[in-house]
């Protein structure tokens, strides 16, 4: 089976600090990859390169067999790779529903001038995604009213409205209380399953990694130090010492 | 029709009747409607979180086009002059917009100011074509085929100003509620997310910019016809500042806000000048401070808050 996402020799340095050290990586359809690593290991840089925010100094990124190296985020999103953020990126002056409606219109590549947003957007799809992320009750509230956990869910939901093939989530549970973390991940993973979306998620919580990932990649100093099943990677001595701090 | 549009129509008709029955009010009212259209142009940009200190140039461009055509093509009707003046502003807005939408906030505002000052200087220096600082006279044209005297012409312009203002409020409000309008407002809160939805924020802002140039152009065409004279002062940065002042005063939450602000501004200016002739700007300044401090969403924000309170949403 050909890879959905593939990188070859991905390299980037900020001055003397190497943040991507010749990364060769493949992700296949249906995988749930957890990316783990200490702060500064290069996890977010890897995501930023794949999603077009940063251009690598060497190497290439392929998505679904197409070279997307250095392409703009807009171009990459339209190819089917969506992203959610460590700090949720929402339209805070809009209602929860409008955020999803705008994402739905973006998916259709249509922004009509005359018809209202509510009547142009696919109401059934918006309702379906609201149900998936459990935000129906708050759909008419401004996005700014939501607590952090629900902001994370809305951030993911906006990406799901794009019907992506791959969703990359940067720390979907950071800033969420430890009691809520599993609830948030349960909803996110349920939505991904329903939508048949392949996913990469950066995560620090080992319990969450063990429970929701089908594969784990451990980042150390801008490179992948270990890659495999959760049991194998989390048992790796180097990972336990350098990443988990044991 | 929404309640706000019904209220705007009733208010527009009331102002029209007032203007027609009190002839001295005609010109201040026409100017208020012109200012309202131009301020609404600024309001479109404010919704995207941007501000322009140079949009008077678009009113100036259309004013000069109207003046030039009215002198050199005497048979052109006033309605056609308004359309051609507005189209000229839209055309320039498309070109300038393609450049300035790459910038945001203070850079966006100052670039517009800089371009408007280039136009101001060109108009002042090329005397042979522009009449220099004396400007150009606008020859009174026919209006919808009718040859009108000064008084009737002003009355007809007032009627036209009210109709155009109502049409503009309705159309722009529809745009604000449309997908493109809501996405434009999203530039203000999160341009990054727009890009990560696959939407070009630059294209959205460019569309809004062209609309704003067109609104200022429409205002400039009417202004030129009502004043009978256009000068480079029409495009001076202080005039752009007035548009910004009115847009903030009225608020950009609803298209009607710009017109509420314009009426208040025009009459505040008129009475402030009569009361304290040497320091009328001070009264305007204090008004703006009070508005910004107590009503950051402008006067129209006050109305929407009251509506929410009446509905029990607040």
Q: What is the DSSP string of B67-114?
A: HHHHHH-TT--HHHHHHHHHHHHHHHHHHHHHHHTTS-HHHHHHHHHH
Q: Does B195 reach chain A within 8 Å, measured CB to CB?
A: yes
pLDDT of A41 reads 86
pLDDT at A139 over 90: yes
Query: Is A114 in contact with B178 (Cβ distance < 8 A)?
Result: yes
pLDDT in tens, A82-119: 999 999 999 999 999 999 999 999 998 889 899 999 99
Q: Does A89 reach chain B within 8 Å, measured CB to CB?
A: yes
Is residue B32 assigned to a domain?
yes
Is residue B255 assigned to a domain?
no
Choose the mutation target among B176, B186, B193, B314 for the interface with A, i.e. most A CBs under 10 Å: B193
Q: Which residue in chain A is spatially nearest to B170 when comparing CA positions?
A: A114
Rounded CA separation A134/A136 (Å): 6
Q: Does B18 reach chain A within 8 Å, measured CB to CB?
A: no
Rounded CA separation A168/A48 (Å): 10
Rounded CA separation A201/A191 (Å): 14
Phi/psi of residue B166, each to 5°? -65, -40
Query: Is A77 in contact with B174 (Cβ distance < 8 A)?
Result: no
Q: Which of A72, A93, A121 shows the shortest C-beta gap to B188?
A: A93
pLDDT of B306 reads 64
ipTM value = 0.91
Q: Does B196 reach chain A within 8 Å, measured CB to CB?
A: yes
Q: Does A48 reach chain B within 8 Å, measured CB to CB?
A: no
CA distances from B292 to B38, B53, B65, B244, B274 (A): 20, 18, 36, 13, 25
pLDDT of B313 reads 46
Q: State both tokens at B112.
A: 């517009």
Mutual orientation of helices B298-311 and B256-275 as an angle, nearest 10°? 120
pLDDT in tens, A158-177: 999 999 999 999 999 888 88
Q: Does B192 reach chain A within 8 Å, measured CB to CB?
A: yes
Q: Which residue in chain B is spatially nearest to A85 when comparing CA positions?
A: B193
Is residue B155 assigned to a domain?
yes
Q: How many other CB atoms sit within 10 Å of the CB of residue A174?
A: 15
End-to-end CA distance of chain B: 24
Is residue B281 assigned to a domain?
no
Q: Average pLDDT by consecutive 10-residue portion of chain B (314 residues)?
A: 82 90 91 96 96 96 96 93 98 97 94 96 91 92 92 94 96 95 96 94 97 98 95 94 92 90 88 80 84 83 67 48
Determine contact, residues A23/A224, Cβ cutoff 8 Å: yes
Is residue B309 assigned to a domain?
no
Q: Which residue in chain B is spatially nearest to A120 when comparing CA positions?
A: B179
Phi/psi of residue A183, each to 5°? -60, -45
Is residue B74 assigned to a domain?
yes
Vertex B265 angle, CA B64 and B284, to 5°: 115
Q: Does A103 reach chain B within 8 Å, measured CB to CB?
A: yes
Rounded CA separation B104/B45 (Å): 11
Q: How many other CB atoms sit within 10 Å of the CB of residue A102?
A: 26
Contacts of B288 by beta carbon, 8 Å cutoff, 6+ apart? B245, B248, B249
Total domains in chain B come to: 1
Q: Which residue has the higher pLDDT, B307 or A30?
A: A30
- A161 to chain B nearest CA, in Å? 9
pLDDT of B311 reads 56
Is residue B59 assigned to a domain?
yes
**What percent of chain A shows pLDDT beyond 90?**
71
User: Which domain does B73 fall in, by range?
Assistant: 2-239
Q: Which of A90, A112, A121 shows the shortest C-beta gap to B190?
A: A90
Q: What is the mean pLDDT of residues A130-158?
A: 94
Is residue B272 assigned to a domain?
no
């Amino acid at each position: 089976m050909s890879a959905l996402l593939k990188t070859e020799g991905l390299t980037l340095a900020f001055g003397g600090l190497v943040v991507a050290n010749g990364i060769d990586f493949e992700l296949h359809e249906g995988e749930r990859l957890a990316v783990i690593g200490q702060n500064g290991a290069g996890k977010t840089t890897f995501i930023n390169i794949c999603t077009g925010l940063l251009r690598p100094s060497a190497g290439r990124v392929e998505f679904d067999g197409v070279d997307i190296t250095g392409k703009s985020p807009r171009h990459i999103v339209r190819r089917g790779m969506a992203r959610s953020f460590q700090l949720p990126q929402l339209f805070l002056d809009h209602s929860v529903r409008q955020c999803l409606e705008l994402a739905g219109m973006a998916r259709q590549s249509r922004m009509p001038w005359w018809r209202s947003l509510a009547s142009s957007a696919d109401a059934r799809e918006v309702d379906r995604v609201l149900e998936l992320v459990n935000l129906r009750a708050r759909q008419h509230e401004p996005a700014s009213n939501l607590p952090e956990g629900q902001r994370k869910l809305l951030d993911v939901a906006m990406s799901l409205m794009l019907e992506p093939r791959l969703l990359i989530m940067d720390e979907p549970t950071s800033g969420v209380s430890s009691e809520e973390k599993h609830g948030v991940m349960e909803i996110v993973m349920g939505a991904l399953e329903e939508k048949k979306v392949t996913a990469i998620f950066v995560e620090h919580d080992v319990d969450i990694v063990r429970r929701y990932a089908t594969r784990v990649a451990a980042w150390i100093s801008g490179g992948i130090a270990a890659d495999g099943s959760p049991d194998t990677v989390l048992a790796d001595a180097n990972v336990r010492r350098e990443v988990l701090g044991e | 029709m929404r309640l706000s549009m019904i209220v705007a129509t009733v208010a527009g008709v009331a102002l029209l009747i007032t203007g027609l029955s009190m002839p001295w009010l005609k010109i201040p009212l026409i100017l208020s409607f012109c200012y309202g259209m131009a301020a609404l142009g600024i309001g479109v940009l404010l919704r995207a979180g941007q501000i322009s200190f140079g949009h008077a140039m678009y009113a100036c461009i259309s004013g000069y086009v109207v003046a030039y055509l009215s002198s050199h093509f005497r048979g052109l009707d006033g309605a056609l002059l308004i359309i051609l003046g507005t189209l000229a502003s839209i055309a320039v807005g498309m070109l300038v917009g393609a450049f300035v939408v790459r910038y945001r906030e203070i850079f966006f505002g100052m670039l517009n100011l800089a371009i408007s000052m280039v136009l101001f200087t060109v108009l002042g220096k090329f005397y042979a074509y522009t009449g220099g600082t004396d400007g150009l006279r606008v020859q009174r044209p026919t209006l919808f085929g009718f040859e009108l005297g000064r008084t009737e012409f002003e009355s007809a312009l007032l009627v036209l100003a009210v109709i155009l203002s109502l049409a503009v409020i309705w159309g722009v409000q529809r745009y604000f509620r449309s997908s493109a309008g809501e996405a434009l407002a999203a530039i203000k809160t999160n341009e990054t997310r727009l890009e990560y939805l696959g939407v070009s924020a630059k294209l959205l802002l460019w569309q809004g910019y062209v609309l704003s140039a067109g609104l200022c152009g429409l205002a400039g065409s009417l202004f030129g016809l009502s004043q009978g004279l256009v000068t480079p002062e029409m495009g001076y940065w202080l005039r752009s500042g007035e548009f910004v002042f009115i847009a903030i005063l009225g608020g950009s939450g609803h298209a009607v806000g710009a017109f509420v602000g314009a009426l208040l501004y025009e009459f505040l200016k008129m009475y402030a000048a009569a009361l304290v002739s040497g320091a009328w700007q001070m009264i305007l300044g204090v008004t703006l401070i009070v508005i910004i401090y107590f009503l950051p969403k402008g006067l129209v924000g006050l109305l929407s808050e009251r509506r929410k309170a009446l509905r029990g949403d607040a």
